Chain A
């Protein structure tokens, strides 16, 4: 890159793409895309810059770039061509590719003889020319999630694009970058607020632009708009002795709907205050984009906040009255649903709702919602004892947990599923634990969502997710790459968090096998339901190869055909699902600061389907590695293992016959013998009792003798007997360590 003279002023670039209203959800991403695509394009063309920032409002995307080069640097290149006596065709091709004439070629001596050399010079180009090219291409190829054409044009944008402002400015003034795009000509002009200051005006640079925009009732920065909204909203609520229910998603959406936010607080009619607060909140948010204003003392939602896009002579009174009226109409609908649903729940209970789910397809290969509920209920019953839940309650809870899907309220507001189930189960007079499970069984959803701890909720929540996962595994619909349409990763993480947060000791693979079989067999009309449930219950508790399962299978006389499916059950499917869980577990633990190789060690140990145990081990090993003894022991182990492996490869034998202390020559060698002798039975006992931590601390005591041994002794001694004995000693170190965990999997 050439040197730039000090006096050369670096211009700033300002771009505004002014359009009809851009969907709020797309704005932030679009502004970021505009910035990255423009700056990438400029830099690629040789125009570097000082800094860049992008902005968005409902009607504009804006990019401000500081300190752009005035022109791209001149590039020189020497390109070697064919020999001078090459065929004319080859020379012509070379001239074409290099873009030079034959008389401009030089002839140079080369190893091959005399060859042509082209000196190609690409002169620098002015910034305006490059900006115009890059912006045109960015606009034409903009990655909108959905874009459209309008009028008779062929240009695509998210909504009709009305004007392009594009200026380069420095101390001496501003110049419009000449751009022509589908009938649009770039200018230095833009418009103010659609209603409050619609006139056009010219700008000379970014500061001038933001100042004039503000004068024209447009706040350019979305964050500034959001801050303003939040501040005014909290002030208004505070003055009324209330508080705004925080909702960041809604705040950023609303900030994307206005250029000139005006915050207004209105009343909710007394007659609606009896609705559950969640219903009020959801209805106001989803339909009207209102914030809820809560009485902190009672938890009730008493007022709303709406954000208008303009000031009015009556300080928003008309706007507020209109909004209040619309809200009243919405809430009367909600109240109608609520009262209807409550009446049904009180009089008919939840059964009719569940029965109606027989007509609702869950997935065309996995049957109806009702069939799914049957499977979940059966599994919840099997899971119950392992989570200290009453099996009958767990089954009952699973049966009604999704009943609210048939209610009018959930039909209108799907996001209230579960919560409405709780209200309606309470109204139906069902036990508290059942009602609670209806609300909690979808949890945890996101990674920060609370994990249920009530036993019945846990049983149903686990059954719900395991049924989902085994179902999609059965029909081979697994998540791939970024595609996870059924949120199976989230479901697996939910199971993991349920298990860990509640310290559950369960062998998941047994539940997997049982439920996979249930998926296979439930639709078989021939299946004897009682026998099937008994069998799957036994699988859930004892595993596919458990003695009670085999005993049951053997005891069935005239075994019906479907039982064959049990014997032919493919354990690979469950194993594959478990591996999926292990992957999810790795991601989960990595977020908690546990190294992936440490988790790999824990997963490689027996009983890997007991996730709590896997995590316990990973945590213990992780803590162990943070101690000095632990870290050094692993190094000692690796050293021993390396020397041994090399020797075994070289000698073609396995040194595993045990070493003999009588061939020990050095005191450190003898000490190591003794230490191993002492530690080995202790480790064996500890491991048998699942006391992994104790085993590791026993292992740690080997660190000093191993280090001392390597310090004092050469393993590959001259004396072959001594050498072999030492290799056998290393082998004892290896087997002792590996009895605890496969430390070879540790990296570094």
Chain B
């Protein structure tokens, strides 16, 4: 087994090592998607690119927001804004488990000393109309990643199948760095002239967003935005495939999907405000899922999604 790398010293070093590792394994290192999402899976580099026949390999950090998890920065583990590290490779390579274990070594987890386990955990996203089979990966009893083979996304069967890895970065880093409270975690190098902790960077925003999410966000406005996002998504997808201005075939799967992401996040905000009853919840989730499905339908009609123009008879 490979010699264990030196233990990292900061949150960002763990991120940098993951970036380097997956880059060296051939992934395109992408940047976070520039919208509010609940998880790295929502990034179009995962949701849309897991569809269609074209091969894909990407890795990226994705800031993720879960308004209901806000704890004003006081809970040692819970945050309304946190980071996920996401890897998506299509088709899933046969040695994906080994590649994944290599990434743990890269961030300083010594396989000779720890107990790594793949424990059944099937993944399902009702809002994305997606599901897959896989595991949560345990390191000494601690869940450090989700490992999923996508079977269906947006109601489409995945052919080929993508392998998806999701690391909860704060939790993983706290474990590797031996930190008990997330806010105490060194964000940059503790020896740096200006050493910053996670708390220095995020305590303020956790407080502000917790208050806004739970008590202040204007629910009427959020509801209106939800309806608008839904309407815009449908309007985009109802356009003809051929753009009348350029005469080119341009199916607008991504702009439509942006609206779907928006609707999903607005729903999360409404949920955190406690204005959605149990029965309504299902209905909202169903509405977002309907958008996700339409976006998936549209994406497979694009060239990136594997669409091939019919051969024009000579």
Contact = CB atoms under 8 A, between A and B. Distances in A.
B142 A326 contact: yes
A359 B76 contact: no
B114 A313 contact: no
B113 A314 contact: yes
A156 to B, nearest CB: 10
Contacts of B151: 148-149
B149 A150 contact: yes
B278 interface: yes
A25 B120 contact: yes
B141 A327 contact: yes
Given A151-B93, A160-B149, A309-B115, A323 B120 contact: no
Contact of A257 (B119, B159, B277): B119
Given A148-B151, A329-B77, A360-B278, A313 B120 contact: no
Given A152-B91, A308-B115, A322-B175, A24 B141 contact: no
Contacts of A312: 112-115
A322 B119 CA distance: 17
Interface string B139-175: 1111000000101000000111101000000000001
A21 B122 CA distance: 13
Contact of B92 (A24, A151, A195, A322): A151
Contact of B149 (A148, A162, A313, A332): A148
Interface centre among B118, B149, B163, B277 (most CB of A within 10 A): B118
B114 A318 contact: yes
Nearest to A364: B279
B116 A20 contact: no
Nearest to A264: B115
A320 to B, nearest CB: 8
Given A288-B141, A359-B277, A151 B94 contact: yes
Interface string A297-313: 00000000010111011
Interface string A396-409: 00000000000000
B278 A359 contact: yes
A114 interface: no
Contacts of B116: 195, 309
B159 to A, nearest CB: 8
Q: A interface, how many residues as a size bin?
A: 35 or more
Nearest to B120: A23
A232 to B, nearest CB: 15
A224 B116 CA distance: 22
A603 B279 CA distance: 44
Interface centre among A25, A148, A320 (most CB of B within 10 A): A148
A290 B140 CA distance: 12
Interface in B55-100: 76-77, 91-94, 97
A360 B116 CA distance: 40
A212 interface: no
A195 B111 contact: yes
Contacts of B175: 322
Nearest to B157: A149
A595 interface: no
A361 interface: yes
Contacts of B77: 329
B285 to A, nearest CB: 16
A377 B263 CA distance: 43
Interface string A279-294: 0000000001010000
Q: B interface, how many residues as a size bin?
A: 35 or more
A21 B101 CA distance: 14
A308 B151 CA distance: 31
B113 A326 contact: no
B160 A151 contact: yes
A2 interface: no
B112 A313 contact: yes
Interface in A322-368: 322-323, 325-327, 329, 332, 359-361
B117 interface: yes
Given A151-B160, A329-B76, A318 B93 contact: no
Nearest to B89: A151
Contact of A148 (B118, B133, B279): B133
A76 interface: no
Contact of B94 (A162, A306, A313, A360): A162
Contacts of A149: 149, 151, 158-159, 161
B179 to A, nearest CB: 11
A310 B110 CA distance: 13
Interface string A149-188: 1111000001110100000000000000000000000000
Nearest to B110: A318
Contacts of B142: 322-323, 325-326
B112 A326 contact: no
Interface centre among A25, A151, A288 (most CB of B within 10 A): A151
A326 B140 contact: yes
A650 interface: no
B244 to A, nearest CB: 38
Contact of A361 (B91, B122, B279): B279
B141 A306 contact: yes
Nearest to A256: B120
Contacts of A662: none
A319 interface: yes
A305 to B, nearest CB: 12
Nearest to B140: A322
B88 to A, nearest CB: 14
B76 A319 contact: no
Given A21-B135, A150-B92, A323 B278 contact: no
A146 interface: yes
Interface string B15-44: 000000000000000000000000000000
A315 to B, nearest CB: 11
B278 A310 contact: no
A154 B140 CA distance: 35
Contacts of A332: 76
Nearest to A22: B120
B161 A257 contact: no
Interface string B233-265: 000000000000000000000000000000000
A146 B92 CA distance: 19
B52 interface: no
B94 A318 contact: no
Contacts of B186: none
B120 A318 contact: no
B99 to A, nearest CB: 13
Interface in B116-134: 116-120, 122, 132-134
Interface centre among B97, B118, B132, B141 (most CB of A within 10 A): B141
B117 A309 contact: yes
Interface string A22-33: 011100000000
Contacts of A147: 133
Contacts of A159: 133-134, 149
A321 B142 CA distance: 11
A21 B118 contact: yes
A288 B111 CA distance: 20
Nearest to B122: A146
B120 A24 contact: yes
A322 B133 CA distance: 27
Given A23-B120, A24-B120, A25-B120, A313 B132 contact: no
B140 A318 contact: yes
Contacts of B112: 195, 312-313
Contact of A319 (B97, B133, B140): B140
B160 A152 contact: yes
B140 A148 contact: no
Given A150-B161, A151-B161, A329-B77, 14 more contacts: A20-B97, A147-B133, A148-B132, A149-B151, A149-B161, A151-B94, A152-B91, A257-B117, A257-B119, A306-B141, A309-B116, A322-B140, A323-B141, A323-B142
10 contacts: A20-B97, A21-B120, A147-B133, A150-B163, A158-B133, A160-B92, A306-B141, A313-B112, A322-B139, A361-B278
**Which 6 A-B pairs give the minimum distances between C-beta atoms?**
A322-B140, A23-B120, A21-B118, A323-B141, A152-B160, A308-B115
